[in-house]
Structure 1
Amino acid sequence: MKHVTSRENALFKHLKALTGSTHARRKAGQSVLDGVHLAQAYLDALGQPVQCVVSERHYDHAEVAQLLRQIEPERVVLLADALFDLVAGVVNGIDLMLVIDTPRGHLPSHIDTDCIILDGVQDAGNVGSILRSAAAAGIQHAFLVTGSAFAWSTKTLRAAMGANFHLNIVEHCTLDMLAPRLAVPLLATSSHAQAAVFDTDLRAPVGWVVGNEGAGVSPEWMAKVSRTVGIPQPGGLESLNVAAATAICLFEAVRQRRPG
């Protein structure tokens, strides 16, 4: 196990760059997972991290000790408390983080299963919540159109609560890339839809197009949508945000497909 106590240490400098910059994460092809929950979710789904970093003060913490037993000792880094405070992404949490190689999604040549397409969803919290709902609903593929928030940012990962590790996430997608590969009808929500999502047959695989928080689905993607559906809101307000609306649609499909 390595013990790092100096700010000049190359490993600490790399960790500080990763925790402080999305650009650095993209360039390095690595991401940082904060806290025991995300770390355990990653270990359960994908195995060993590049490194596990823990503070001196929490090295003997019961939850940390249990998790460290699952990680190869040479991957563990003990970081001085003062240095951990400089890179910590969670306030008053357990001082543990994993450095991982960011999983690279693959673009299937033929997409005939349920999928979700994020068309310019810009808020990282919304992206994370949508990914979490998608994974829970059994969706296999999440395609993020250029302009959407980074799927591996700290805020997205925190909101997704481990969902990233159970989805094939492909970023920087374009209409030209995806359209020829899609063999499922595309659906989108709209306040002007004639049919409610609860009255729409969702028993076969579909692709859900989720639009930008303010502008909605872009005209180019809306032109590819087979059908728009509405979500009844008897309260009289259009008060559902994009993540909540998406969850309702995904789980209406789950409801319709339940045996019996």
Structure 2
Amino acid sequence: MPAFFLESKDNPKIKHLRGLIEQNSFRKKQRQTVLEGTHLTLAWLAKNRKIHSIFTTEVAMSHPDLEKINELYDGYVFVISESLYKDLSTLGTSLACLAIIDLPSSTEALNFKEDTLILDNIQDPGNVGTLLRSAAAAGIEQVVCTKGSASIWSPRVLRAGMGAHFSLQTYENVELEDLLGKFTIPVYVTSSHQSESLYTKNLRKQCVWILGNEGQGVSEFALKHAEAVSIPQPGGQESLNVAVAGSICFFEMVRQRI
């Protein structure tokens, strides 16, 4: 695995890397994104996926995780200073590893008869990543994001997803109005108002889950075209975090099915 030392923050390769980390528009233009940390990089390589280049530090090069990556990756490694890596990194304390990959695109059409998660204008990267992780763990393989949701393949969402992305079919910038009428299975939307308890529903067969914006909840269109369910909260809180609420719904579905 050939290694090259880069010293200047103005090096074109460093500028390219920084653009992918910081700018959604640049990621879209280049059709690339960045995996940060050895966990994501190893998970990606385990799926036999291609990496264009890896950026690390001289200290990290001797770490066992980097040695594992070396066994699976035969491309270029760019070694940069600790200070420059800290300036680029969004994790701070992780082992130095930034891997550039192509933005994946869904190779399959959306299946309107299979379990599906729809994120309706969910904007927090941590929430999106956590929901993808919970969905994958619960066996949901299709995730749809409407316009306004956080970019699924941004470094921050990838970090929160902890590799869940790699087992999912994902679809972005979808209009809800173009989608809901095509499903032939029950469609549920979480709402804390005027809805039936989640625990009264039969979730043994395939279904769709719609989860909405952190502050405003799901859209009026979703409420009109889906069956609203609520999670009982005897403690009296106004609402749950959307990632927590979604995870509860997914695993109530799993509980009923097993």
Aligned to 1:247: 247
Change (3 A) 1:171 1:29: same
Change (3 A) 1:166 1:46: farther
Per the TM alignment, residue 69 of structure 1 is displaced from its structure 2 partner at its CA by 1.3
Distance in 1, matches of 2:236 and 2:41, equals 42
Change (3 A) 1:136 1:92: same
The one-letter amino acid paired with 1:47 is R
Change (3 A) 1:51 1:144: same
The one-letter amino acid paired with 2:236 is G
Aligned to 2:101: 100
Change (3 A) 1:144 1:244: same
Distance in 2, matches of 1:179 and 1:168, equals 18
The runs of 4+ residues in structure 1 deviating greater than 6 Å are: none
Aligned to 2:205: 204
Distance in 2, matches of 1:75 and 1:206, equals 44
Per the TM alignment, residue 247 of structure 1 is displaced from its structure 2 partner at its CA by 0.4
Aligned to 2:72: 70
1:52 matched to 2:71? The reply is no
Change (3 A) 1:46 1:58: same
Distance in 1, matches of 2:235 and 2:83, equals 51
Aligned runs of 1:104-115 on 2, under 5 Å? 104-106=105-107, 108=109, 110-115=111-116
Change (3 A) 1:68 1:174: same
Which of 31, 34, 42 lines up with 2:33 in the alignment? 31
* Number of matched pairs: 256
Secondary structure of the 1:24 match is helix
Secondary structure of the 1:59 match is helix
- Which stretch has the larger CA shift, 189-198 or 237-246? 189-198
Secondary structure of the 1:229 match is strand
- Note the aligned Cα RMSD (angstroms): 1.8
Distance in 1, matches of 2:208 and 2:93, equals 40
Aligned to 2:141: 140
Q: Percent identity?
A: 37
Aligned to 2:218: 217
Distance in 2, matches of 1:196 and 1:231, equals 6
Which of 13, 17, 20 lines up with 1:18 in the alignment? 20
Q: TM-score, normalised by structure 2?
A: 0.92
